[in-house]
Amino acid sequence: MCGIVGYVGHREAFPIIIKGLQRLEYRGYDSSGVALLNGKINVYKKQGKVADLLAFSEDKDTVSSLGIGHTRWATHGVPNDVNAHPHTSQSKTIALIHNGIIENYDSIKEELSKRGHTFESDTDTEVLTHLIEEVQKKERVSLFEAVRLSLAEVIGAYAIAVIEESNTNEIIVAKKGSPLVIGVGENEFFLASDATPIIEYTKNVVYLEDGEIARLKIGEEMELKTIENVEKTPYIQELELNLEAIEKGGYEHFMLKEIFEQPKSIADSMRGRLDSKTAEVKLGGLAEYEQKIINADRIIIIACGTSWHAGLIGEYLFEDLARIPVEVEYASEFRYRNPIITEKDVVLAISQSGETADTLAAMKLAKDKGATVLGICNVVGSSIARLSDAGSYTHAGPEIGVASTKAFTAQVTVLTLMALMLGRKKGTIAESYYRELISEIETIPAKVESMIGMNDYIKELSAKFKDALNFLYLGRGYNFPVALEGALKLKEISYIHAEGYPAAEMKHGPIALIDENMPIVVIATKKGHYEKVVSNIQEVKARNGIVIAVVTKGDTAVKEIADYVIEIPEVAEPLVPILSNIPLQLLSYHIAVMRDCNVDQPRNLAKSVTVE
């Protein structure tokens, strides 16, 4: 969490930093701040959004061609002006921004306090700033060296940028566990948590590796070394991102834009992976590992949140089509559970951001125990992508709205392709059924497009439920994870309490909640236990619950008993989740907008959860 930006060069730093922070607000938005060097270090910080910082800075001196900025998601210390970054050293001549957690800050703080340091904030970050100054004074070294030596004492995760008053053309950056990209321009450098603040200025970037530290100095080449003092050569690569992809493009919210983009993002996640002549699925990134997966004792899927829901759909797909046993684990539980993992296991991490701390840690654990670790990731070059032995990108394009939509459907699409590929190679799927699924999957983008056309209808429906206090989501089989995801989407952006359940489990508890005020979204598409779900709807109606049913086009039985229906196009059962999820995204979106919630930046959340 937290977003960091920095600039040193010949341009005005403040507007670059503010714009960059606004692009990174998805990473945290409870407070923000900048430090600008112009003779002395001016620090401006404000609780709230970057817009609040901008308003606060209006009458301040913001002239500078060197600065660093931060948008915060609080870990240590409540969100207020004082705890906002940047933090400064005891003498106020060093300023620092930080994304991550310094785990041993308490003991360092105690030591520094004994030596006369006093602290203003409750943060772990301020301690690191003081430590750097202390080391610099004691060892009489440059800022670069002082940062390096200080980081050798630090336990935890960080992406940091440090400046000092006497150094008018230099920023020191370092990374371990949190992302950091450096943009290399003509006699100028940019830095950020991801490439979005950099893209309009330069396409040449260096992704810092864990344990690396760099000096960005005007008039000199970037100097790169490890914390252990081993010199390295920076690897400059070209960005593929374009500006359009990270802007709203006329939509009111990124979330709506991303929902509407799904016909394209799903097509993109399949592009070049289906051979229309041979009906073969080719996932280039996994080619070398196909046999390993086929022979695996089991696939363990690790993920968090929405990606975990995609993983659950993966379980149905792999078991159904490829007959490979699957376990789906919350990365946060898996990593601390002393799990039994062997070399015959294949561990598959799923992550949109590729930076989720729990997923990364779970992958490392699996690797240490000898498992093959694969990744399904959206962000190219992200930590999870780099840690994987092999994997597939989802190619959904940048997802800015905090609530995941198009990344989820792209994950499910890639999982479906993977299951089809494995099933055919393993011979667990009849060729005729395989070909039917291949030709159907190609129709998915058009079918999603037709569902986007239901937006107005779902908006009308949403108006009826915007004041509900609770929601229940029910589904069976492939639609059970869709129910979980529908409930998560609603609660995270509208703050309405919602729960997802396997429909048949309702009678073991949640049925007690049902009364005439309870809206219940039931995914009751044809095939896949349809009759059983119809019975579940009868049970709800017998208790006066209000049923919003997602049904297959042409359905008659559910239409007769449900209060409202949303029709989705007919499609083979394993492909249903991609479609049945779309109306639930729209329902959550409209309800949240009608409740005046900030759908793109829901309270307390951040897009990239880089703390555990």
Catalytic residues: 2, 607
Nearer to ligand F6R, 147 or 490 (CB): 490
Determine, following the binding rule CB under 6 A, whether residue 307 of this chain makes contact with ligand F6R: yes
Cα four-point dihedral sign 338, 342, 345, 348 = positive
Please list the alpha-helical segments (H only) found in 4-123: 13-24, 50-57, 105-114
Least Å distance between CB 330 and ligand F6R?
10
Nearer to ligand F6R, 9 or 486 (CB): 486
Least Å distance between CB 106 and ligand F6R?
27
Least Å distance between CB 249 and ligand F6R?
21
Among the listed ranges 159-167, 225-233, 299-307, 417-425, the one in contact with ligand F6R (CB under 6 A) is 299-307
Nearer to ligand F6R, 133 or 258 (CB): 258
Nearer to ligand F6R, 400 or 575 (CB): 400
DSSP letter (8 states) at residue 430:
-
Among the listed ranges 11-19, 29-37, 301-309, 576-584, the one in contact with ligand F6R (CB under 6 A) is 301-309
Determine, following the binding rule CB under 6 A, whether residue 304 of this chain makes contact with ligand F6R: yes
Least Å distance between CB 378 and ligand F6R?
8
Nearer to ligand F6R, 202 or 608 (CB): 608
Q: How distant, in Å, are the alpha carbons of 63, 466, 467, 471, 519 from that of 474?
A: 56, 19, 20, 10, 11
Determine, following the binding rule CB under 6 A, whether residue 306 of this chain makes contact with ligand F6R: yes
Question: Rounded to an integer, what distance in angstroms lies between the CA atom of residue 470 and that of residue 483?
Answer: 14
Measured in Å, how far apart are the chain's first and last C-alpha atoms?
Answer: 10
Least Å distance between CB 355 and ligand F6R?
7
The site string for ligand F6R over 476-505 (x = CB under 6 A, - otherwise) reads ------------x---x-------------
Half-sphere exposure of 429 (CA within 13 A, CB side): 25
Beta bridge partners of 232: 224
The site string for ligand F6R over 339-378 (x = CB under 6 A, - otherwise) reads ------------xxx--x--x-------------------
Exposure of 276 by Cβ count < 10 A (0-12 exposed, 13-18 middle, 19+ buried)? exposed
Residues between 591 and 610 that touch ligand F6R (CB under 6 A) = 609
Encode 370-393: b = buried (16+ Cβ within 10 Å), e = exposed: ebbbbbbbbbebbbbbebbbbbbb
Encode 156-174: b = buried (16+ Cβ within 10 Å), e = exposed: bbbbbbbbbbebebbbbbb
7 in Cβ contact with 188 (< 8 Å): yes
The correct pick among 22, 178, 202, 404 for binding ligand F6R (CB under 6 A) is 404
Tokens of 293: 């997966």
Least Å distance between CB 356 and ligand F6R?
3
Can you spell out the DSSP letters for 159-194? Answer: EEEEEETT-TTEEEEEEEBS--EEEEETTEEEEESS
Beta bridge partners of 163: 95
Nearer to ligand F6R, 62 or 588 (CB): 588
Binding residues (CB under 6 A) for ligand F6R: these are: 304-307, 351-353, 356, 359, 403-404, 488, 492, 609
